[in-house]
Amino acid sequence: MKARERRYCRLGVMMSRFLTVGAAQMGPIQRSHSRHDVVERLIAHLREAHRMGCDLVVFPELTLTTFFPRWWMADQAEIDSFFEREMPSNETAPLFNEAKRLKIGFSLGYAELTQEDGRLRRFNTAILVERDGRIVSRYRKVHLPGHSEHEPHRPFQHLEKRYFEVGNLNFPVVKAFGGNMGMCICNDRRWPETYRIMGLQNVEMVMLGYNTPIHNAPAPDHDEHSWFHNQLSMQAGACQNGTWVIGVAKGGTEEGVPSLADSMIIAPSGKVVARAGGSDDDEPAADRAIADRTLQLPDLFVAGSSVAPSWSKLSCHQWKANSGRPAQETRKNHLGLLWHVEN
């Protein structure tokens, strides 16, 4: 073997990593639904994902409750009833226990109430849970949309700036599930720095959940662009930073407010490889899986990451369009994304 060939084998050994991801689009969660009710729905998703061979399930923003920032509330006790003081809690422990039993991980969005710096703080949070039940990453939403004061002329409020603080954890990227994993939440997806900060940390998959009302009260003429803006922002982030983006909605008509569904999985090329269409639920009380097909995607060839780990991701990742193989497609009632990376 020539020296050049030996060096390549030592520094660029080819190995495969497979990750099957299920994106669990949720139907509406009404105010009357208890945590127990919601956790049972999430467990049902985990079991279906396990049946399909998923390693990881992505849930939406504020998965455990209705989207409460749509209401003006003055009673702090009422506000805090939508927050989780610990994770896992007695109410959410069954989700963690079932995930550990099934050896399947998940990301989950929720309202976090925590004691920090000698005071109570409230964040719009997402966590990443490994297959052994450990929380391996936490993200707190940075780009809070909406307003902070009561605006009674609106058909509904959007008071994230009243109920949450701006996140203080930046955009962390962690080693988990055999790759470099990052998270963001809802409105974060619309800002290029969200993806770029993670891209400079060599992120390989960005998981994000959202609750996006179709009606834009300050600019109602933009309502028709809701689907376009949703897809555009995630496609741009994926393509510009060479990363998978898993965008998952809680959609449908929740407490009288229609919200965007249209969850999707986007490849590092920017191509939407799977999506769940529609703006509401076919069955109002039911959750719908993100899509009805499983795709085997083109290979992502990682060249040089072991040689020059300080390179940005775009510098050391190259696409092999199809590796001479067409994408394979099989019909299923829940999306499984086969993420195949060679490095």
pLDDT for position 219: 76
Known active-site residue 91: no
Neighbouring CB atoms inside 10 A of 196's CB total 16
Low-confidence ranges of the chain (pLDDT < 70): 1-16, 277-343
Q: Is the pTM of this model over 0.75?
A: yes
DSSP state, 89?
-
pLDDT for position 322: 28
DSSP bridge partners of 259: 213, 252
pLDDT tens-place string over residues 63-98: 999 999 999 999 999 999 999 999 999 999 999 999
- Bridge-based pairing state of the strands 16-23 and 336-342: antiparallel
pLDDT for position 103: 97
Known active-site residue 141: yes
pLDDT for position 47: 94
pLDDT for position 98: 98
Consecutive H or E run containing 307: none
Spans of all domains in the chain = 17-342
Known active-site residue 61: yes
Consecutive H or E run containing 120: strand 119-129
pLDDT for position 50: 92
pLDDT for position 338: 38
Question: How many angstroms separate the CA atoms of 321 and 104, rounded?
Answer: 30
Of 48, 130, 141, 184, the catalytic one is: 141
pLDDT tens-place string over residues 46-55: 999 999 899 9
CA-derived radius of gyration, the chain: 20
Of 48, 54, 61, 98, the catalytic one is: 61
pLDDT for position 102: 98
Of 54, 84, 112, 186, the catalytic one is: 186
Question: How many angstroms separate the CA atoms of 334 and 343, rounded?
Answer: 29
Decide which of 3.60.110.10, 3.40.220.10, 3.10.20.90, 3.40.50.2000 is the CATH code for 17-342: 3.60.110.10
pLDDT for position 278: 53
